[in-house]
Structure 1
Amino acid sequence: MFSVNRRRGCWAGISAVMLILMIAGCGGRSETAQVTAVPVKAVKVIQQDIQLTNEYAGQVQAKNEVKIQARVSGNIAEKLIDGGDIVTAGQPLFRIDSIQYESNLLSAQAQLAQAEANWENARIDSERYQSLLKAAAIPEQRLTTQKATERQQEAVVASYRALVRKAQDDVNSTLIVSPVNGRADVNAVAVGTYVQAGSTTLVTVSDLDPVFVEFNMSENEYLTLRQVAQNDVASSGWGENVTITLSNGAVYPLSGKVTQADRGLANNSGTLTLKAAFANPEGILIPGMFARVKIPGVPIKAAVLVPQRAVQQILDKSLVMVVNADNQAEPRPVILGEKAGSYYLVREGLTVNDTVVVEGLTKVREGAALAVTVVTPAELALAINP
């Protein structure tokens, strides 16, 4: 009996010791977790002079877009281009059946020849009557009447000459040529189609070098840009050095210039419509293409800048996580200004002496110990003017 109770006592003691060790072990792991630093990447807040960039949504337009119509009616006898072809000014595009117009020309030429013969006869009679009048062989009234007949025949000749020119012009107009350099659209009429003079559009040709990019800006932006240009003695005018980014993110290699502005603000939106001209020697820009327009804006001295990826938006507040002197996370509210490339302009809340977390934010809580790796803007592909 004593032996059994003794064994039970030993097992109870061992169990108690194991329980104490387990509790101690768990407590040790909890304490270790609390002091483990969170690995993050951080960058120094920068301060430098910048020039803000104004961005607008734009659309490429042809400088000249011509809807080509025939000057004479008839069936298309020959199509000399394919849809999408590059054409030059004066290049033949279509030929209309010209048989009817050639017949009209021949008829007008015949009538002109007859009228010229009648006029020549009247001129000869006038000369003969002039001689007879000098010999007193006819009365003066006879010569006067003949002179009137000669002038009448001369007028008939002028009328038929006009008809011949009209008929010749109709024949020439059966060959339709491009009035501009550009690209033809793909909706050109087919051979055999009957076209009505001045009504049927045969093809549309767009001049693609240069092209316009049309966009809208607010009244305040327009006034600010004009003021910036007036204050910059090195500037030749506002709307210079305009750049565009295409829908695939590629920056178009040539810069443009604002060349046209609407006569007034749009009544329904209060915006001003502008057009910037861009050279397009390679034909990259085509009408209808989307483009993000960028215009140099207001210069700012000693701007404080923080990467956009460091900013957290919570309701209507903007916060950044600052690395304090003890390498702990310190949330800091900031007041932001405009975007400058990959950065925000900071109005209030940060100085050039601060370091902010840019990677690992989801794992960081206020007061957490941080294992900080300070990186450069270049390592994060950050740029003020991308």
Structure 2
Amino acid sequence: MIFTRRRENFFFILSALLMVIAMAGCGNRQAVQAPQPVKVKAMQVVQQDTPVTYEFVGQVIAKNEVQIRAKVSGNIVEKMVTGGDKITQGQPLFQIDRRQYEAALLTNQAQLAQSEATLSNAQMDTMRYQKLAAQQAIPMQTLDTALSSERQNAAQVNANRARVQLAEADLQDTLIVSPFGGRIDVNDLSVGSFVQAGQTVIATLSSVDPIFIQFSMSENEYLRFTQVGRGASPKEWGNNLKLILSDGSQFPLTGHIEQVDRGMAQDTATLTMKAAFDNPQEMLMPGMFARVVAQSEVRQGALLIPQRAVQQLLGNTFVTIVGADDKAEPRPVKLGPRIGNLWVIEEGLTTADRVIVEGFAKTPPGTLLSIEMIDQNELQSAAKN
């Protein structure tokens, strides 16, 4: 009913415009010549089974990204990489001055050796007192004191051993290595810079292969995909995703949905997803924008016309067809999904209709037409040229 009402409104507006043109023509008393046919190109409405695709605008982000911070404080004395370099997992990046940590390790090792010697003496004293106590040659209190002293010395050994392990870890942490493979940013620190443990950002590291495309879909789109996938999760139906780059070219590899947010965002009512794409040539870089193309249902016997044939006037969508006696006739249409450079037509056309794709701008209703029929292949070739 809504489409019918819109169609009636459209023809009412169009009739009013034609009456104004006719009244203006009546004032012209000059002889009017017979109208000449206007040359146009038209195409038969195409009917075929069509996979429906949906596009989502996304942004390239790193699958893994980390701000590298030192675990120990000190001055950077050596830099093994240059900003922007591609690096591998475990590759040395920066060296922090290790002299104070070497000294701390030696001090703790000496304290450990001293406490171990003290423990050894305490253990020998305990053994002697145990033999004497067995012969009732000494009071039991003396043996208890020896045992207590041994336990205290053993605890001190354990504490010093922990300090040695911590000093070894601090010394090892003066060499900063890459936690994973990727590319380092150009804002890394220079030799001589002082870094504070756990605070100073030395550099930012981003993985490049594979890489994520983050995009969002509406609640209706999510429900539509879920229904087509018979209730399957997005990770199951979100395979074979295509990627269209900002220059219109298609990324050569397909991707798949790897991460789905826990719920709809309250402010935008959209669901955020991340699709993973292999990126061996590093063509995709964080920050780039691209369009994710996902296939939904297959429309059986869908009616298709070129996008370039669709016109809009005063909020109404229509096309110009070749009507009776080869005259131009406007026809309101209801559009469905867009498929490449074609529109799916929900209402308004049949397979018998011929739609004007070139020249409709100079063909008001009733214009006599000189028609050149083209097919879909010719239309695509003309678009490329």
- Please, what TM-score do these two structures have when normalized by structure 1? 0.86
Aligned to 1:375: 374
Q: Distance in 2 between matches of 1:237 and 1:167?
A: 49
Structure 1 residues 213, 131: CA separation in 2 closer, same or farther (over 3 Å shift)? same
Q: Deviations over 1:229-248 (max 9, x none)?
A: 1189xx99322221111111
- Percent identity, please: 50
Aligned to 2:184: 184
Does structure 1 residue 356 correspond to structure 2 residue 355? yes
Q: Is the contact between residue 101 and residue 170 of structure 2 (CA under 8 Å) also seen in structure 1?
A: yes
Q: Counterpart of 2:336 in structure 1: which amino acid? A: G
Within 5 Å, which residues of 2 pair with 1:91-240? 91-134=91-134, 136-230=136-230, 237-240=236-239
Q: Counterpart of 1:292 in structure 2: which amino acid? A: R
Structure 1 residues 348, 144: CA separation in 2 closer, same or farther (over 3 Å shift)? closer
**Superposed displacement of residue 203, structure 1:** 1.1
* Aligned residues between the structures: 352
Q: Distance in 2 between matches of 1:305 and 1:221?
A: 22
Q: Distance in 2 between matches of 1:162 and 1:318?
A: 78
Within 5 Å, which residues of 2 pair with 1:316-331? 316-331=315-330
Within 5 Å, which residues of 2 pair with 1:221-260? 221-230=221-230, 237-260=236-259
**Superposed displacement of residue 143, structure 1:** 2.8
Aligned to 1:17: none
Q: Distance in 2 between matches of 1:116 and 1:152?
A: 12
**Superposed displacement of residue 382, structure 1:** 7.4
Q: Secondary structure at the match of 2:380?
A: coil
Aligned to 2:302: 303
Q: Distance in 2 between matches of 1:140 and 1:336?
A: 101
Larger deviation, residues 145-154 vs 167-176: 145-154
Within 5 Å, which residues of 2 pair with 1:245-284? 245-284=244-283
Q: Secondary structure at the match of 1:284?
A: coil
Structure 1 residues 292, 135: CA separation in 2 closer, same or farther (over 3 Å shift)? same
Unpaired runs of 5+ residues, structure 2, are: 1-29
Larger deviation, residues 254-263 vs 53-62: 254-263
Structure 1 residues 202, 231: CA separation in 2 closer, same or farther (over 3 Å shift)? closer
Q: Counterpart of 1:342 in structure 2: which amino acid? A: N
Q: Secondary structure at the match of 1:117?
A: helix
Unpaired runs of 5+ residues, structure 1, are: 1-25
Q: Secondary structure at the match of 1:147?
A: helix
- Please, what TM-score do these two structures have when normalized by structure 2? 0.86
Q: Counterpart of 2:175 in structure 1: which amino acid? A: L
Q: Distance in 1 between matches of 2:231 and 2:42?
A: 38
**Superposed displacement of residue 36, structure 1:** 2.9
RMSD over aligned Cα, in angstroms?
2.2
Q: Deviations over 1:168-226 (max 9, x none)?
A: 11100100111112111111111111111111111111122222211111111111110
Q: Is the contact between residue 307 and residue 382 of structure 1 (CA under 8 Å) also seen in structure 2?
A: no
Q: Deviations over 1:80-127 (max 9, x none)?
A: 111111122211111100111111111111111111111122222223
Q: Distance in 2 between matches of 1:179 and 1:371?
A: 70
Within 5 Å, which residues of 2 pair with 1:50-69? 50-69=50-69
**Superposed displacement of residue 135, structure 1:** 5.2
Q: Deviations over 1:337-358 (max 9, x none)?
A: 2212111111222111111111
Q: Is the contact between residue 342 and residue 382 of structure 1 (CA under 8 Å) also seen in structure 2?
A: no
Q: Is the contact between residue 242 and residue 293 of structure 1 (CA under 8 Å) also seen in structure 2?
A: yes
Q: Distance in 1 between matches of 2:319 and 2:115?
A: 96
